[in-house]
Structure 1
Amino acid sequence: MTAKTALITGAAQRIGAAIARLLHTEGMQLLLHYRRSAGAAEALRDELNGLRPDSVALAQADLCRVEQLPGLVDQVQARFGGLDLLVNNASSFYATPIGGVDEASWDDLMGSNLKGPFFLSQAAAPLLAERQGCIINLVDIHAERPKAGFAVYSMAKAGNAMLVKALARELGPQVRVNGIAPGIILWPDQTMSPADKEALLQRTALQRAGVEQDIARTLLFLLRDAPYITGQIIAVDGGRTLQQ
């Protein structure tokens, strides 16, 4: 995969950073998008460029601002000459209890999880088609089973899941589009008690949390080893969706 190029949204930390590190190890050039995490993004860029000079660049944008998205594609073309992979990873995630949802939360959750990925994919599609590239979305197991208290997030991820299927149909045969639906990979930033965490793990077939690298390795499989897979969403959840 040497000299192939990926654009990863929300790449500064957590799952996005794990994906960036693995793809870089495989030889890819990277444009790492961030919104607010400038310090973490710069540290990751410097780390990876220390291993392979001039292989990683940064781009800042708010995915909810559609007018900014073609600029990300322009930057990757100007810096690396083309695009082989778009990873729609960036996501806002927080509770929206019914009765207290405001329009700002709706716009942010729908924007980062659905609107942004759609319009960025649309902007990137011509470049991806030139190289028979692919798009991989980070979906969520709660796209199928809504998470209590997270109605807007769950609806946005359900739309993201349909985006995978719709784009696979619209952009084929030149561009493949797939998704990954994580289960318990990282505990949310919101405080959870040890008892609540254990209750979730007990409803997971493997009875343990996954790690970011589980997602990164699945993405690498879809990118490198699955040329006849498109329009599919792989649950990487330790068997969480096998149970209620």
Structure 2
Amino acid sequence: MSLDGKTFLVTGAGSGIGRAVARRLLDSGARVTLVGRRQDPLKETAGLYTDAYVLAQPADISRPAEAEDAVRTALDRFGSLDGLVNNAGLARFGPLAEADPHDLDAMLGVNLLGPAHLIRAALPALRAGSGSVVNVTSVGGALAMPNRAMYGASKAALNSLTRSLARELAPLVRVNAVLPGPVDTPMYDDLGLAPEKVENLRKDMVESTPLGRFGKPEEIAAWVCHLLDPEVSAWVTGALIPVDGGRTS
């Protein structure tokens, strides 16, 4: 990949897909700002690399001021921004009739408004460097999702934002999305469901995936980095790419 020396900001970088993306970028010689709500996991990721290449920046991206501060801090440290990976996500599963309104607001804040805040804040730098945005959404934004309706709706909205901004920001900035299927990450420990329901959910997801297993964070990270790389994806924008073991086929 031609990512050596380039600069990126990755959200949700303390674990799961975000950590896998950050590590792949750093291993390619890029400089990366790691953004997430919890400082300790960010430091754990950052600690694997020298300070010259990595910056851990705690932030709640659903708050516009914190999103803007994260971008500003990244630019102060590295001087430019070649790509933004909107990976941070929040999932709360269950019937709409039983949903906590605060959970619904929080999902929209993290899954949709957070990426919008970050793109807006990063836009001058991305335009200056003909940069790239990759949104990590979900196959839940493309499938009917009973008992996960609001989560799916928030991801469908991010898919729509991706396609609209791809046209709005062209030709200087490319905007694409990767739609993971079920990936084995810590997200399943924080769904707001009882353990037995989580276990049943995981079993159902494997059974409904043609390749018969959960994906690995590294498998999603490979596609994210592919879309960030101008050497191979310079003519790709507005794409919604399922990486889902055939779940949407």
TM-score higher than 0.5: yes
Q: Which amino acid aligns with 1:203?
A: S
Moved over 4 A (4+): 192-196
Given that 1:109 and 1:156 are in contact with CA atoms closer than 8 Å, whether structure 2 keeps it comes out as: yes
CA distance in 2, matches of 1:20, 1:60: 15
Identity %: 34
Q: Provide the residue aligned with 1:46 in structure 2.
A: 47
Alignment TM-score, normalising by the size of structure 1: 0.92
CA distance in 2, matches of 1:184, 1:121: 26
CA distance in 2, matches of 1:115, 1:201: 30
- What are structure 2's unaligned runs of at least 5 residues? none
1:210 has 2:211 as partner? no
CA distance in 2, matches of 1:193, 1:108: 20
Q: Provide the residue aligned with 2:144 in structure 1.
A: 146
Aligned length: 238
CA distance in 2, matches of 1:179, 1:159: 12
Alignment TM-score, normalising by the size of structure 2: 0.91
Displacement after TM superposition at 1:119 (Å): 1.5
| C-alpha distance 9-194 of structure 1, shift in aligned 2 (>3 A) | closer
Q: Counterpart of 2:88 in 1: which secondary structure?
A: coil
Displacement after TM superposition at 1:47 (Å): 1.0
CA distance in 2, matches of 1:111, 1:234: 23
Q: Counterpart of 2:153 in 1: which secondary structure?
A: helix
Q: Provide the residue aligned with 1:89 in structure 2.
A: 87
Q: Provide the residue aligned with 1:183 in structure 2.
A: 181
- What are structure 1's unaligned runs of at least 5 residues? none
CA distance in 1, matches of 2:63, 2:204: 38
Q: Provide the residue aligned with 1:76 in structure 2.
A: 74
Q: Which amino acid aligns with 1:206?
A: L
CA distance in 1, matches of 2:26, 2:237: 23
Q: Which amino acid aligns with 1:232?
A: A
Q: Provide the residue aligned with 2:63 in structure 1.
A: 65
1:237 has 2:239 as partner? no
Displacement after TM superposition at 1:101 (Å): 2.6
Q: Counterpart of 2:215 in 1: which secondary structure?
A: coil
Q: Counterpart of 1:47 in 2: which secondary structure?
A: coil
CA distance in 1, matches of 2:198, 2:178: 27
Displacement after TM superposition at 1:194 (Å): 5.7
Q: Counterpart of 1:58 in 2: which secondary structure?
A: strand
CA distance in 2, matches of 1:220, 1:20: 9
Q: Which amino acid aligns with 1:241?
A: T
Deviations 1:203-242 (A, max 9, x none): 2221122100110111121111211110011100010112
Cα RMSD after superposing both structures: 1.5
CA distance in 1, matches of 2:114, 2:201: 32
CA distance in 1, matches of 2:128, 2:18: 25
Q: Counterpart of 1:54 in 2: which secondary structure?
A: coil
Q: Which amino acid aligns with 2:239?
A: Q
